[in-house]
Chain A
Amino acid sequence: MDRRLATLLQEKFGERLLTPVRQRYDESEIRVALQDATDTLRTLHDDPAFRFEMLIDLCGVDTGEEMQVVYHLSSSITGDWLRVIVPGLDRTAPRIASATFMWPGAEWMEREAYDMFGIIFEGNRDLRRIYMPDDYRSFPLRKDFYLADDASRSPAAGVRNMERAGTPADATAATVLRKSPGV
């Protein structure tokens, strides 16, 4: 755990951070608002005090109430990996600026997040489905996408949940959307 990194992040981004810097094991975590995301990533990448030059991972998260995009960055200066969480994407039309301007390698990871969650990355030159077929309609990793092995909601019951985006009108308490707003 790198305490110096936490102070540095706090100094540099101050009021931009939505929550204080969190540290656990060898991971530091910050949260920034949607409109600050690009600037924050650029500073983290370019500033000689940080030099977070490697994008280890980019993924989407559906908390049941909102969408998030999570970046994991690695620096050549500190051993800590930095997790940048951008919360507050609208669940009905999630949009965020692409990170491909800095890390071209993010292209496929953004395509994956689009494929699985429907998050639109503005500026990605090749934002189309990557795993699912082109004519597929729904987004499988969203929390309102039910798995077919839930017998009461299976195709045999006349409900094609695999193809349905959005909570079914006849959802019961047992199959209700799993939400975790605190995440």
Chain B
Amino acid sequence: MTQQMRPSLDDPRVAIPAESTWYEPAPTPQTERQAEFLTLREGEMFVNMGPQHPSTHGVLRVIIKVNGEKVVDLDPVLGYLHRGVEKLCENADYHQAICYTDPLEYVSSLFCEAAPVAAFEKLMDVDIPRRAQYIRVLTMELNRIASHTLFQGWMALDLGGITPILWAFIERDEIVDMLAALTGQKLLYNYYRIGGVNGDLNHEFMSRLGTWMSRAAAQIDSNLALINENEIFVRRTRGLGVLDAKTALKMGVTGPNLRASGVPFDLRRDRPYLVYPELEFDVPTRDEGDSLARYLVRMDEIKQSIRIIDQVLHEMPDGPVMAKLPRLLRPRPGRAFGAVEGPRGVYGTYAISDGTDQPFRMRIHDPSFVHLQLVGPLTKGNLIADTMAVMASLDPVMGGVDK
């Protein structure tokens, strides 16, 4: 019995097709832009990154066209986390729709709730009790700090530093536990209701918050000292992925990414909601527009958030936390756009009511989705490793991008 010989690639009789650069059939270009992307010039090749890549902050696949170590072009492939939240919301009633929006951005889910709640309240002409407004501001600012500290750790991790993420999680875990004591959930809080919040502040939350506030500023400063003065970090991010103000506006960039390019656009000040007009805070901006500026703007925002929390705790009035509303909500036919300033930019919800108890259309706008478009333009000509630094500084969260 002769043993079957397996063909070897070294065997000159085995023909290797010259065009077999793709392991799957090469996609046929559907658009002008895709055809341009798929055309390889001399010395260029494709590198696939993701979808299970540690530094893509979720499940993002990026096809990078490289020439040597230089990025020529890239094409993000989305949809790995697509859950069809908009469709689900159209088939749920107004209360149920809120908890579908929670898992959109799992690191800052209170903002994902706040936007639809704001839109629904506009549709129904509900006035929220003042205590509930203060509680919302308080919890949102806490969530903003939690998100920004996580960003700080993530960004350092993407640039190769392990320690900062461990430090960042000390603060984040404390805030997450605090909010868990208040809402009963660690990440997907489902705390805001149409007309107020689910429950009043409880003792455990307040005592934890008090302890944390007494050391928060010092603790966060020491976290910042760990990274801000780090020469490797600064040299790898300064001047990288520069976004000028004009491009940023045209690309629809919002939030810290826009403020890092020198545009002081902040919904809390420019289109005030809840009790923000009564609170005192600055809108930190930077003019450089590079990755380092985007990082530093977020770190300055943490300090402003602590300042806001401090004022809220001093000024919060007593009273009810829910407006009186019927259990079944049927708003009059109409349209409303609710928007809040989140840790990544404008979280918006466009809700259309047709007079039934379900939203007729619910559009969810997520800032990460817009910001991810910039990864291509900002990384062209840089090294592959710098793609990570740029992407980390834009801080997209794939749960929100993919909806």
- Indicate if the CB atoms of A61 and B361 lie closer than 8 Å: yes
Give A173 to B402 CA distance when docked, in angstroms: 33
- Indicate if the CB atoms of A183 and B354 lie closer than 8 Å: yes
Looking at the complex, which of A20-28, A87-95, A152-160, A163-171 is the stretch in contact with chain B?
A20-28
- Indicate if the CB atoms of A26 and B271 lie closer than 8 Å: yes
Is A107 part of the binding interface, using a Cβ–Cβ cutoff of 8 Å? Answer: yes
Closest 6 CB pairs of A and B: A105-B252, A105-B251, A180-B354, A126-B33, A131-B79, A131-B82
* Residues 224-259 of B contacting A (Cβ, < 8 Å): 249-254
Give A104 to B86 CA distance when docked, in angstroms: 24
The residues of B that contact A103 with a CB separation of less than 8 Å are 250-252
Give A69 to B374 CA distance when docked, in angstroms: 24
Number of A interface residues, CB 8 Å? 47
Residue A104 contacts which of B251, B270, B403 (CB distance < 8 angstroms)? B251
Residue B350 contacts which of A57, A134, A182 (CB distance < 8 angstroms)? A57
Number of B interface residues, CB 8 Å? 46
**Extra A-B contacts (6), CB below 8 Å, given A29-B335, A108-B373, A147-B87:** A61-B352, A70-B350, A79-B271, A81-B339, A103-B251, A183-B360
Residue B32 contacts which of A54, A125, A145 (CB distance < 8 angstroms)? A125
* Residues 82-113 of A contacting B (Cβ, < 8 Å): 83, 102-109, 112
* Residues 39-81 of A contacting B (Cβ, < 8 Å): 53-57, 59, 61-62, 70, 72, 74, 79, 81
- Indicate if the CB atoms of B361 and A56 lie closer than 8 Å: no
Looking at the complex, which of B65-73, B143-151, B362-370 is the stretch in contact with chain A?
B362-370
**What's the A-B contact tally at a CB cutoff of 8 Å?**
117
Contact (A83, B122) CB under 8 Å given A61-B352, A105-B370, A126-B31: no
The residues of B that contact A33 with a CB separation of less than 8 Å are none
Is B179 part of the binding interface, using a Cβ–Cβ cutoff of 8 Å? Answer: no
- Indicate if the CB atoms of A128 and B337 lie closer than 8 Å: no
- Indicate if the CB atoms of A141 and B87 lie closer than 8 Å: yes
